[in-house]
Amino acid sequence: MSKHGSGLSCFSRRNFLASAGSVPFAAMAGCTTVGNTVSHSEIVIPHQKVKVLAEADVVVCGGGTAGISAAYCAARHGAKVILLERWPSLGGMATNALVNIWHTSDREKQVIFGFVQEAVDRGSRFVHRMADFPKRPETHEFDSTGMRVVFDMMLKDAGVRVFCNLTAVESVVTDGCVQALLVDTKTGRKAIRGKIFIDATGDGDIAANAGVRFDFGRAADGRVQGMTMMFRLQGLDAARVKAHAGEAARVFGLMKKLRDEGKFPQFLEMAARSYLSSPRDSGVSYNMCPVAGNPLDEEELTRLSALGREQVYQYVDLWRKEMPGFENTDVNQMGFGLGIRESRRIHGLKTLDGQMVVKAVKQPDTIGHGFWMIDIHDPKGTGHTTWSDQKAEMMPPKGDSYHIPLGMCLNNQIPNLAVVGRCASSTHEAHASVRLQSHCMVMGQGVGTCAAMALSEGVSMAKVNIRDLQSKLRKDGVYLENVLQEGI
Ligand SMILES: Cc1cc2nc3c(=O)[nH]c(=O)nc-3n(C[C@H](O)[C@H](O)[C@H](O)COP(=O)(O)OP(=O)(O)OC[C@H]3O[C@@H](n4cnc5c(N)ncnc54)[C@H](O)[C@@H]3O)c2cc1C
């Protein structure tokens, strides 16, 4: 994007000439220059002619749960849709980072249906409903590998044209609208043209590059929530773990002692205690390995990912040695990438805040419901999470839910650009609730449907009649109750 790598190993022209006579560095390396200027800190490329690879009515960038839902729903309502994804497979955190639990309940009843329910039904071979449904927010667990196939099939059936293995690197903005995205592919830079663009990158890459304002991190120090390397185990002897259940407390105590002495990595305590005491098979993703830093800094992210992988083996090696039943356990799978919770939060027409979440505030422009608590993983990487504290003031009341407004996905700078998923407009606190995959899919469905309506009516997304949108969403199975009638 606008940011170029800082550690260029090229010589500036002046320095090179001073040290190696008059032969330009590039010429020496057998390269030809076409008016580019190269210095220590930047390379200026004055002209770029970029081939158009494809075009569509709606271009969705980012193939996580938010982007999949947006692409599917826009296509179902008649739009010609392209979905772009930098990784080889779709699903984002849900598949590639092994985050495999969906939440649909306000602890009394299911309040998220629509696209989420379609994915659950379509993926029934890979998704199972939890036994205590709907008494906890967590309602469905799925096999991340199988869900990749389900997402592929759903998008194929909806007629979405999917491109994986390319990264969007620049938003081309003229006359106040995004005209195209520049994408980097194995065969060079290309363009994807469209009429409406939906940023589902999680990091808000498209919106930020197009110049839409954003926030990053908490107010106090600008840090974002901690990240996690998810993993799964195999070879666990469940019966033996159960027979030696008393040992779990000793091993947990040892982990804490070693950590406090600086001889063992940080870990999410509540999760580790539970994994040691109740045996979990290879289908369960272990969510206990924290790291913290800036997910938009490529070198830092590389270092943190390596650290996460190392920490996972430190836990497993200790358990193999100390915990009966874990002797033959080993890592079965790790996230393809770190689980990233938070980065840019793009400024919208509306910003969801913590009070709206915990007071279950209703909105006139709602596109669905949310109910998860304010669940903040310590931005300093200790592994502490407000989820472990279970404080009532961090949660919407049981049996109630807040509204996810369309306004948090639209902005007042670029009318043909929307944002869905964890980069939509919220405070650090509200983000810690609304970032759930099921909430991201609610946004995707609302915005994807809105985009298709905007195109067929020849208006911007903000001008689509909200009542018409809500009635279309209801027809598509979305749960929408207590909608405020005024104040849109
Ligand atoms: C460890 C962890 C545990 C969690 N636990 C749960 C849980 O139990 N249940 C739950 O519902 N949620 C959970 N969450 C939150 C949830 O997983 C995420 O907030 C959610 O997946 C975000 O979805 P998304 O589609 O907005 O973004 P992502 O899933 O991050 O998807 C974004 C996609 O965009 C692609 N992309 C990014 N930039 C570009 C680009 N420039 N060009 C092309 N493609 C790009 C990425 O590769 C990715 O596939 C957890 C998160 C973490 C990290």
- Residue 105: DSSP 8-state: B
Task: Report residue 13's pLDDT band, with 50, 70 and 90 as the boundaries.
Answer: very low
Judged against a pLDDT cut of 50, whether residue 29 lies above it is answered with: no
Nearest C-alpha neighbor of 293 from the set 217, 374, 204: 217
Partnered with residue 305 across adjacent β-strands are: none
131 HSE (CA, 13 A, CB side): 0
- Ligand 1 pocket (Cβ < 6 Å) reads 61-67, 84-87, 92-94, 97, 99, 101-103, 167-168, 200-203, 205, 228, 230, 287, 339-341, 421-422, 435-438, 440
- Which residue CA neighbors atom 6 of ligand 1 most closely? 99
Judged against a pLDDT cut of 60, whether residue 34 lies above it is answered with: no
Burial class (CB in 10 A: 0-12, 13-18, 19+), 17: middle
- 134/136 Cα distance (integer angstroms): 6
The minimum-distance atom of ligand 1 relative to the CA of 67 is 25
CA 75 to ligand 1 centroid distance, Å: 22
Q: What is the pLDDT of residue 487?
A: 59
Nearest C-alpha neighbor of 288 from the set 314, 257, 320: 314
- 266/255 Cα distance (integer angstroms): 9
The predicted-structure confidence for 43-86, as pLDDT tens digits, reads as follows 988 788 999 999 999 999 999 999 999 999 999 999 999 999 99
Give me the amino acid identity at 76.
Answer: R
Around Cβ 122, how many Cβ atoms within 10 Å? 16
The minimum-distance atom of ligand 1 relative to the CA of 1 is 41
- 268/308 Cα distance (integer angstroms): 13
Task: Report residue 24's pLDDT band, with 50, 70 and 90 as the boundaries.
Answer: very low
- 415/423 Cα distance (integer angstroms): 17
- 110/293 Cα distance (integer angstroms): 35
The predicted-structure confidence for 440-451, as pLDDT tens digits, reads as follows 999 999 999 999
- 280/13 Cα distance (integer angstroms): 60
- Residue 285: DSSP 8-state: P
Nearest C-alpha neighbor of 132 from the set 172, 99, 103, 93: 103
Mean pLDDT of 353-375: 98
- Which residue CA neighbors atom 7 of ligand 1 most closely? 101
**Residue, of 55 and 7, whose pLDDT is higher:** 55
Nearest C-alpha neighbor of 408 from the set 359, 461, 481, 468: 461
3-class secondary structure for 300-313? Answer: HHHHHHHHHHHHHH
Report the mean per-residue pLDDT for the chain: 92
DSSP line for 52-85: EEEEEEEEEE--BHHHHHHHHHHHHTT--EEEE-
Q: Which tokens go with 325?
A: 């039943």
The predicted-structure confidence for 391-447, as pLDDT tens digits, reads as follows 999 999 999 999 999 999 999 999 999 999 999 999 999 999 999 999 999 999 999
- 421/440 Cα distance (integer angstroms): 4
Percent of the chain whose pLDDT exceeds 90? 86
The whole-model pTM stands at 0.93
Strands 161-163 and 81-84: parallel
The minimum-distance atom of ligand 1 relative to the CA of 62 is 34
Nearest C-alpha neighbor of 332 from the set 229, 234, 238: 234
Q: What is the pLDDT of residue 281?
A: 74
Task: Report residue 148's pLDDT band, with 50, 70 and 90 as the boundaries.
Answer: very high
Q: What is the pLDDT of residue 27?
A: 45
The predicted-structure confidence for 86-120, as pLDDT tens digits, reads as follows 999 999 999 999 999 999 999 999 999 999 999 99
- Which residue CA neighbors atom 5 of ligand 1 most closely? 99
Partnered with residue 415 across adjacent β-strands are: none
Preceding amide of 134 cis, omega within 30: yes
- 62/79 Cα distance (integer angstroms): 18
Element (H, E) at 362: none
Partnered with residue 160 across adjacent β-strands are: none
**Residue with tokens 């179902």, as numbered in its chain:** 76
Mean pLDDT of 365-371: 98
**Residue with tokens 């469940």, as numbered in its chain:** 238
- Which residue CA neighbors atom 8 of ligand 1 most closely? 101
Element (H, E) at 361: none
Mean pLDDT of 452-463: 98
Q: What is the pLDDT of residue 485?
A: 87
Mean pLDDT of 233-243: 92
- 361/483 Cα distance (integer angstroms): 10
Residues 6+ apart with CB under 8 A from 425: 345, 346, 347, 348, 349, 350, 351, 352, 407, 408, 409, 411, 419
Residues 6+ apart with CB under 8 A from 398: 106, 107, 108
CA 16 to ligand 1 centroid distance, Å: 44
- Residue 28: DSSP 8-state: H
From 1, 53, 99, give the residue whose CB has the most ligand 1 atoms within 8 Å, as the site to mutate: 99
59 HSE (CA, 13 A, CB side): 26
Contact 90, 336 (CB under 8 A): no
Q: Which tokens go with 147?
A: 């869900």
Taking the alpha carbons at both ends of the chain, their separation in whole angstroms is 35
Q: Which tokens go with 172?
A: 């081309």
- 260/233 Cα distance (integer angstroms): 25
Q: What is the pLDDT of residue 65?
A: 98
The predicted-structure confidence for 165-219, as pLDDT tens digits, reads as follows 999 999 999 999 999 999 999 999 999 999 999 999 999 999 999 999 999 999 9
Burial class (CB in 10 A: 0-12, 13-18, 19+), 353: middle
Q: Which tokens go with 405?
A: 């407004």
| Strand ranges inside 62-176, DSSP E | 81-84, 101-103, 127-129, 138-142, 161-163, 167-174
Judged against a pLDDT cut of 70, whether residue 17 lies above it is answered with: no
Partnered with residue 417 across adjacent β-strands are: 197
